[in-house]
Amino acid sequence: MALTDTLSTADGPDSGFDSAVSLLQLVRSMRSTDFRIAEDYQSIWQTANRINWNIQDLIGGDKRLNFTQPFLPDALVGINAIQCLSDEEKLKLNQIRGNSYLSLFGLCEEFILPSVVEHINQIRWNNLYATQAFLHFAEEESKHILLFQRFAEDFEQGFGTVCECIGPAHTICDRILNHHPLAVALTTLHIEWMTQRHYLESVRDNQGLDPQFCRLLRYHWLEEAQHAKLDALMVQDIARSLSPEEIERAIADYFTIVDLLDQGLQQQVQLDLESLSRATNRWFSDVERAEIQTIQLQSYRWTFLWSGMTHQNVGRIFNEIYPSSETQLLEKAKNFG
């Protein structure tokens, strides 16, 4: 039963008998919901334990990036539509986007990690399967940060010229973590389901990409599948203790974080353009710069904002914690799609 269904059951009837029946139904429904959630935590934790890999399984030694192939599908980087670039220049830009893709994920994981640790503090000993599942979640996110840092070292060595990414990560993360914990959890929900969408819809069956890069994405996606489910439970858990007014404020706060992320993407487009200029040893005219910037900003927004905000599971959770908020979410997403 959704949280909003539970609340409407409690507020409904007004006679004494009806109120008593209603209260009994509420207690029963809450017990069955709590039991279901405890079971969910246990099964997610067990699945997470079956999917265990180490960084050295994926990178280092003979596991190298192949710089003759693209790293990401065009659905996620929108490069084919750029008229002013040759095929070799498009390949360079694709790899620049591969580098920034993982760097941006690493950055997001740096704010997800402390927010999950904070949530574990809130759970304490109330649900030990939840504690186990969230501890595993935090451990995996810290492993992903290290994996992406290791990838950045390999990329720097093989690509040949400097490619900057937005940062420093801790400054951006502190700005995000200054918002309501529910707003941060909703941002995480958006990112986790977005990761699922990227991999399943455009990476999994794509044969033309660098196998090493695809392998990183595949193993990351396998663990993110558990995070997406856990974060949905985390959102519900936080929302359960809040008034509808506070949930409404937290949703508004989430939209502020979305705008903050959008500012970061706009900066990344500029950095990519400089990286491309260095990598191709080419000076771009104002018209060419405008073309690249416009198409790339559209692509970054689609990949990192629109594809998360319009995921059906994200919309469903929004509606569960606050009626009709999916409509607001989809309205906001129109700015980025």
User: Which residues fall within 8 angstroms of residue 159, CB to CB, at 6 or more apart?
Assistant: 67, 95, 99, 279
Stretch that binds Fe ion, among 14-22, 148-156, 218-226, 247-255 (CB under 5 A): 218-226
User: Is residue 227 within the footprint of Fe ion (CB under 5 A)?
Assistant: yes
Report the nearest approach of Fe ion to the CB of residue 176 (Å): 15
Task: Give the count of residues interacting with Fe ion (CB under 5 A).
Answer: 4
**Does 144 sit near Fe ion (CB under 5 A)?**
yes
- Judged by CB under 5 A, the stretch of 114-122, 151-159, 225-233, 278-286 that binds Fe ion is 225-233
Nearer to Fe ion, 191 or 292 (CB): 191
Point out which span in 8-16, 102-110, 298-306, 308-316 binds Fe ion (CB under 5 A).
102-110
- In the complex with Fe ion, which residue's Cβ is closer, 227 or 311? 227
Task: Give the interface segment with Fe ion, choosing from 105-113, 153-161, 239-247, 266-274 (CB under 5 A).
Answer: 105-113
Among 224, 272, 320, 326, binds Fe ion (CB under 5 A): 224
Give dist(CA 303, CA 103) in Å, integer: 14
Nearer to Fe ion, 136 or 144 (CB): 144
- Please state the closest distance from residue 39 (CB atom) to Fe ion, in A: 22
The radius of gyration computed from the CA coordinates of the chain, to the nearest angstrom, equals 22
Angstrom CA distances, 11 to 18, 27, 94, stand at: 11, 13, 54
Residue 116 contacts residue 137 (beta carbons within 8 Å): yes
Binding site for Fe ion (CB under 5 A): 109, 144, 224, 227
